[in-house]
Amino acid sequence: MNSSIWLAGSLSSHRRSRILQSAVDAQSTAQIPEVGTCLLFGTDFQEGEETSQQDWYTWTQKPGRALLLIPPFKSGSCSIPSSWQISRRSTPPAHQNLPLATTLASEVQYELQGQLQVATQLGGLWDDQSICTAYYRKHPHAGIFAITCLPLWSLSVLDHAAELQSWLDELYLLAGSPVEDSSLTKAEEIELQPEHYTVLLHLVSGPFANESTALAALHHSSIFAVDTDRAKACLQDAQQHGLVIGGQLTELGRDILERSPYSTYINSLEALKR
């Protein structure tokens, strides 16, 4: 099962992204994707605000969505989506039979512990029984929140691209199949007012870590002017209909905006970030 592979957060523009783009045709994204496998540096998640962490966890609760945290990490504990800890290894892990894990073993610097399901089909345990890859799934029909200590961005994967693709495909199988829903229909049925589009356009000028940050920036914006209470209501409308998660546009929200009369403003707003 091939799925879209997305690179989010600082990984999307990091030099290491080029390795993943070359090896498995990964795509960088500034928005939270609708479905697929989304790779994020562990440090981005660990250093993010709790609301941002919760947004990522919420995203994984629908089937067809796999979030994968990859090195680097900070040593320490985290409670989302359940208790897990990262520590530095003192020695490289023992090799195992899975080709990709064996290829990257000498570069592994971290060890994972926590209340997570070991991904045995992905070589989740080393020979010494320390955890390499594990995941959390809220219920059997949800997507997955996964963590791996394998440096998937290593130059070594360029010579083992097929193995990496197979590994990621196996990971995505754990996330289940995306369900057909009426999100787009519902979004098209909403009578979006100019203020809704103003809020969506404002999010293009982000990124914003969460809803509160986005609304605070809008309140002080020199470009947009929307009453604070009205802006909050519009943002909540957009969230309820899948156009926004936290303080970021979803792919659906971006699509709605691009097909609106206000689409001509998108490039100008994105240019302000460069």
* Number of helical (H) and strand (E) elements in the chain, helices listed first: 11, 12
Are 173 and 1 in contact by the 8 Å Cβ rule? The answer is yes
pLDDT for position 1: 53
Token duo for residue 191: 């009578």
Q: Residue 58 phi/psi, 5° resolution? A: -60, -40
- pTM score of the predicted model: 0.69
| Radius of gyration, alpha carbons of the chain | 20
Adjacent-strand bridge partners of 69: 40, 147
Please give the DSSP secondary-structure letter assigned to residue 205: T
Q: Sort strands 110-114 and 84-88 into parallel, antiparallel or unpaired.
A: antiparallel
28 and 12 Cβ atoms separated by less than 8 Å: yes
Residue whose C-alpha is closest to residue 44's, from 19, 78, 18: 78
What pLDDT is stored for residue 185 in this prediction?
A: 47
Query: Of 132, 75, 129, which Cα lies nearest the Cα of 103?
Result: 132
DSSP symbol at 250: B
CA atoms within 13 A on the CB side of 52: 18
Phi-psi region of 70 (alpha: psi -120 to 50; beta: other; left: phi over 0): beta
Q: What is the pLDDT of residue 274?
A: 56
The answer to whether the Cα torsion of 268, 9, 121, 161 is positive or negative is positive
What tens-digit pLDDT sequence spans the chain (274 residues)?
567 999 999 999 999 999 999 999 999 998 888 899 999 999 999 999 999 999 999 999 888 999 999 999 999 999 999 999 999 999 889 766 788 999 999 999 999 999 999 998 899 999 888 999 999 998 778 899 999 999 999 999 999 999 999 999 999 999 988 865 544 445 555 678 889 999 999 999 888 888 899 999 999 988 998 999 999 999 988 888 888 888 888 888 888 888 887 888 888 888 776 5
Whether the CB-CB separation of 76 and 111 falls below 8 Å is answered with no
pLDDT score of 273:
67
